[in-house]
Amino acid sequence: MPAARVPRIPVEERLFSLVLALLATDTGLTKTEILSTVQGYRQRWSTGDNAALERQFERDKDDIRELGVPLETLEEPGSSGNNQNLRYRIPRGAYELPDDIAFSSEETALLTLAAMVWREGTLSGESRRALLKLRSLGGATPVPELAYAPRIRSRDAAFEPLRTALDRSAVVTFDYLKPGEASARARRVVPYALVQFQGRWMCPAIDPETGGRRVFLLSRIVSPVTITSHSWLTPDDATAERALADLEALWESQTATVDVEANSDAETRLTKRRGTTRAADGSLVIHWSDRYLLADELASYGPEVRVTGPDELTGLVRERLAALVADHSDPQNDDASSFVIDRVEEDPRA
């Protein structure tokens, strides 16, 4: 008969069970006791070879120490130097919150919710540490809202290495393709935040050579992000809050004016954009922070939208519509293609 399939235990559940077990003992647990009894290990434990499981335990020890858990090792009297007889424990007094700090059930629920928002793949070290401590200190407060916790996940490949670089204050390098440029340029910067603005992930960073600040759209990073061995201390005002405030100020200061077809999909969507107002002549005034992204959106509405200003945005929309027409034109019907492109040149609604 085939061997029974071992159930897969999530990493966070195994680490959580390990922390609980080591908190619950005063004298400590040996490696054998841990591997044979703790959730996440015992399912794979056998009386034979457990070398792979022991290596997993060694990695898990490093992980929980990296998360700030004060893991201690105790030697058995008379067994100095015998690693098999080492006992492991987490001293509760060193792990618990100070006596003058306490959370109500509502505060604990909110803290837990904030940590749970991130999926494990993009959970920051600080959030993982907070969630692990909240759970092990009894933070699993039964609050119905937690069952409907949102989940934030980034699909940009650059996100994870940039987050790692943030934790280390490390200099990174990558290739960045700006709109309108034929080829990407190599960048060497120090990321100091990862923020989501208008539904897109951005990375505010500092040039370590000049001190200049830039904001990079993650979707425009076209190469793997390389984390260098160099670190750089960012200024105190280089924060995510400051970056978001600057982006908000830029968005507030820049507007475009568009005419939309009544009762169209474009009118429905654009009128629901945050900050959109309707002028006396019926046109819509919309805010933007990146003209290229806005041009992409407006061009997607085709004949339902006509941009009346600013001129630079009008030109970008025309370029996109002309390129669309060229890509879908019949090369055997030059007259028809020229007619459509001429209309695009005259009026973006074509």
The predicted pLDDT at position 205 comes to: 93
Taking the C-alpha atoms of residue 85 and residue 30, their distance in angstroms, rounded to an integer, is: 6
The predicted pLDDT at position 320 comes to: 87
Architecture of domain 159-238: Roll (2.30)
The predicted pLDDT at position 155 comes to: 61
Tokens of 120: 């494990």
The predicted pLDDT at position 130 comes to: 53
Check the CA dihedral 314-320-323-324 and report its sign: negative
pLDDT tens digits, residue range 338-348? 444 443 444 44
Q: Roughly what angle, to the nearest 10 degrees, separates helices 125-136 and 105-116?
A: 140
Strands (E), 182-304: 185-191, 195-197, 200-206, 213-217, 226-231, 255-260, 277-278, 284-287
Tokens of 37: 């009894």
Domain segments of the chain as ranges = 11-95, 105-148, 159-238, 254-346
Taking the C-alpha atoms of residue 191 and residue 225, their distance in angstroms, rounded to an integer, is: 11
The predicted pLDDT at position 93 comes to: 72
The predicted pLDDT at position 233 comes to: 85
The predicted pLDDT at position 341 comes to: 42
Taking the C-alpha atoms of residue 301 and residue 287, their distance in angstroms, rounded to an integer, is: 17
**Among candidate residues 208, 213, 137, the one with its CA nearest the CA of residue 171:** 208
The predicted pLDDT at position 345 comes to: 44
Q: Roughly what angle, to the nearest 10 degrees, separates helices 311-327 and 334-346?
A: 170
Alpha carbon 312 to chain centroid distance?
Answer: 32
Q: What is the pLDDT along the chain (350 residues), one digit of tens a residue?
A: 444 555 667 777 788 788 888 887 888 888 888 888 888 888 888 877 888 888 888 888 888 887 778 888 888 766 666 666 788 988 877 766 666 666 666 666 666 665 555 544 444 454 455 555 555 544 444 444 444 444 555 567 888 889 888 888 899 999 999 887 889 999 999 999 888 888 788 999 999 988 899 999 998 999 999 999 998 888 888 888 888 999 999 999 999 999 999 888 888 899 988 889 999 888 999 999 889 999 988 998 888 899 998 999 999 998 888 888 877 766 665 554 444 444 344 444 43
User: What spatial distance separates the first Cα and last Cα of the chain, rounded to whole Å?
Assistant: 69
pTM of the entire predicted model: 0.54
Instruction: Using CA atoms of 191, 197, 201, 202 in order, give the dihedral in degrees to the nearest 10.
Output: -30
Neighbouring residues of 188: CB distance < 8 A, sequence distance ≥ 6: 171, 172, 173, 207, 208, 209
Tokens of 140: 């699993």
Tokens of 67: 């998360």
Residue that the structure tokens 């092990």 belong to: 136
Taking the C-alpha atoms of residue 164 and residue 295, their distance in angstroms, rounded to an integer, is: 33
CATH class of 11-95: mainly alpha
